Each structure stands twice: as C-alpha cells, then as structure tokens.
Chains A and B, each alone.
Chain A
C-alpha cells in the first residue's frame, strides 16, 4: 500500500520569497514516481514536476524544484521567488511503476502575501 503525508494544511509566504511544501511517502514498490500538482481556485489540476525514484538528480522545472531524499522518504516542493499567482492548493502524489493508480496527499493551501 502507498501513503502520502502532507503535514502542512496551510502555508503563508511573502511575495518574492522561497517556500518549501513538505511531503513524505511510504511504499513497498521498489520503483515509483513522485509528483506535485497545483490546483488553483478554478479547480483544474496542473502538473508541476515529476521525480523518479531512481533519478540521481533532483527534478527542476523553472521556479519549481523537488528536494528528493530517498532515505527519508521525503519529496518536498520548493517554489522560488513566489508570485501572487502561486496562491493555490498543492498536492503531492506517487505511483508505483507497475501500478496504475496514484495516491494523493491531503494537500497544502499556499497563500502568497503581497
């Protein structure tokens, strides 16, 4: 069974500062992928970043980076230079390579203050 834990129901950050959203996971799959999604108030789920369990380097996509610590089973999302448009719900998710379905965390609501 897979489990994703996001311990921060809500986070605040000042515009232009960096913020880290926490995610820990548990799985018995030897190979898996970790994902982060952004869900603004409109409701759509926007794919942000992906990290494979065997990837040596931490994934980066523009202002988003994933701080992957396999031994600690953590996959924290770092957003640099926060913008007002980053205010949204953020979900961490994982899927085993041999599994079809993903497991999602409960989400973190990020509010960027001007």
Chain B
C-alpha cells in the first residue's frame, strides 16, 4: 500500500483568503485525485491531478477556484482560493499505485472557513 501524508492536517481560515494543501506519497503512483467531503456527506471528486499538465476537473469545479499542481509522480498540491464558509470541508488526497488496483487516501485536511 502507499503511504500518503497531507499538510496541513487542519486549518481555520478567514473568508477571502486561500489555502494550499500538500499531498506527498512515498512511492510513484499512477493516479492522484483530490476529493472534498462536506460535513455528513459522501466524497465528491474535485479533480484528477495530472503530472506535468493541467488537472482534469469534475463538473462543478473550476481551475480558478481549485488550482492543482502535480510536478512529479509523488507530489501534488490543491489550493482552495477565495474561500467562503461553504468551502468548509475535509479535503482528501487519494492515489492509485502503479501495478495495483486499490485506491488509498491521505489523512485529510479539515478546513474551517470563518
């Protein structure tokens, strides 16, 4: 299995500011994803992070609001821009390892926007 770390683990931010979340994996992985989980709800896929190119966003999510970088096979960042209280969620990084099928998740970043 892949070991995934995320920073920060939690943060409280003021509306209108931006937060960048980092995701580091201990091995090269084929695919990296960013999910959002609003309180009491299931996971919603924000985007697939593509190495060296623009991320692939799901319906309802745009690059200006959630810019994503993936400079190599083991690292990605998600920025939540111009935050509002509706952005208060857990943000999860997830990976699929090369040669395996299982999908693993990082510990999550718990974001509260005031």
Contacts and interface: CB of A to CB of B under 8 A. Distances in A.
A105 B42 CA distance: 7
Interface residues of B, number: 22
B107 interface: yes
Interface of B: 1, 31, 33, 37, 41-43, 45, 48, 90, 92, 94, 96, 101-108, 110
A100 B101 CA distance: 10
A25 interface: no
Contacts of B96: 100
Given A50-B102, A107-B42, 17 more contacts: A33-B101, A35-B102, A42-B107, A44-B105, A45-B92, A45-B94, A47-B104, A91-B43, A100-B31, A100-B33, A100-B48, A100-B96, A101-B45, A102-B45, A102-B103, A104-B42, A104-B43
Contacts of A100: 31, 33, 48, 96
B31 A43 contact: no
Contacts of B43: 45, 91, 104
Contacts of A91: 42-43
A51 to B, nearest CB: 10
B107 to A, nearest CB: 5
Nearest to B1: A47
Interface size class of A (residues with CB under 8 A): 20 to 34
Interface string A8-38: 0000000000000000000000000101010
Name, among B31, B33, B103, B108, the residue most crowded by chain A CB atoms within 10 Å (CB to CB).
B103
A19 to B, nearest CB: 20
